[in-house]
Amino acid sequence: MPSPEPVLETARLILRPPHAEDFEAWAAIGQDEEVMRHLGGVKSRFAAWNHFLAAVGAWHVLGFHAFSVTEKGTGRWIGRVGPLHPEGWPGDEIGWTFAREAWGKGYATEAATAAIDWAFANLAWTRIIHCIAPTNTASQAVATRLGSTLRGPGRMPAPHDQDPIEIWGQTREQWFSRRAARTTSMPSQ
């Protein structure tokens, strides 16, 4: 099992397991109708608290779950991204949820790239998926930028088993092949 406190850094972001001080921002995005439109709807503080504690607990029991994402320059908590596989889930997922003010800045792709690298290096996963609502074109665009493709319809566990969901994904080999091709095609400095 991986260390319970990994810290990942990207050019603009820090990813780490959630800490108690993240809860207020975590709860705020759960109460934002636009953020939660494709994620089962607005969550009460009580539901957000339970979700938050489940994430913290998963880090201690499983050694992984969504990372809290903060901006390097400001330290501001802007969302969560990372490996998920709750009971009954359709596969090993890298998921993301960001505060609305963080949208459109490339943060989801940047953070998910680091999370995918970490998951493949530390969790022995052979493939990843992203569970995306068919109408969530923004997340579909992130999945496409990550190199994932639409694999077909999927089913979430109850009580969301009737919600339409698409499975996007790729194998470990596809991920590393694409990453290697991108690195070798970059101009030298």
Give the model confidence (pLDDT) of 44-102 as tens digits.
999 999 999 999 999 999 999 999 999 999 999 999 999 999 899 999 999 999 999 99
1: in domain: no
148: in domain: yes
**Interacting residues of 84 by C-beta distance below 8 A, sequence separation 6+:** 65, 66, 93, 94, 95
pLDDT at 166 over 90: yes
| Number of separate domains in the chain | 1
49: in domain: yes
How far is residue 75's CA from residue 69's CA, in Å, rounded to a whole number? 9
How far is residue 139's CA from residue 143's CA, in Å, rounded to a whole number? 6
Mean pLDDT on 147-157: 95
Residue range(s) defining the domain that contains residue 118 = 8-185
Mean pLDDT on 17-32: 96
Mean pLDDT on 6-26: 97
Q: What is the pLDDT of residue 5?
A: 87
Band of the pLDDT at 186, cuts 50, 70, 90?
A: low
How far is residue 171's CA from residue 177's CA, in Å, rounded to a whole number? 10
Band of the pLDDT at 184, cuts 50, 70, 90?
A: low
Q: How far does Cα 59 stand from its chain's mean position?
A: 14
How far is residue 94's CA from residue 128's CA, in Å, rounded to a whole number? 7
108: in domain: yes
Q: How far does Cα 121 stand from its chain's mean position?
A: 16
Q: What is the pLDDT of residue 160?
A: 85
Q: What is the pLDDT of residue 41?
A: 85
158: in domain: yes
User: Residue 58: which CATH number?
Assistant: 3.40.630.30
Q: What is the pLDDT of residue 19?
A: 96
Mean pLDDT on 131-153: 97
Question: What DSSP string describes 31-61?
Answer: T-HHHHTTTTS---HHHHHHHHHHHHHHHHH
Half-sphere exposure of 140 (CA within 13 A, CB side): 12
Q: What is the pLDDT of residue 38?
A: 84
User: How much is the pTM?
Assistant: 0.91
2: in domain: no
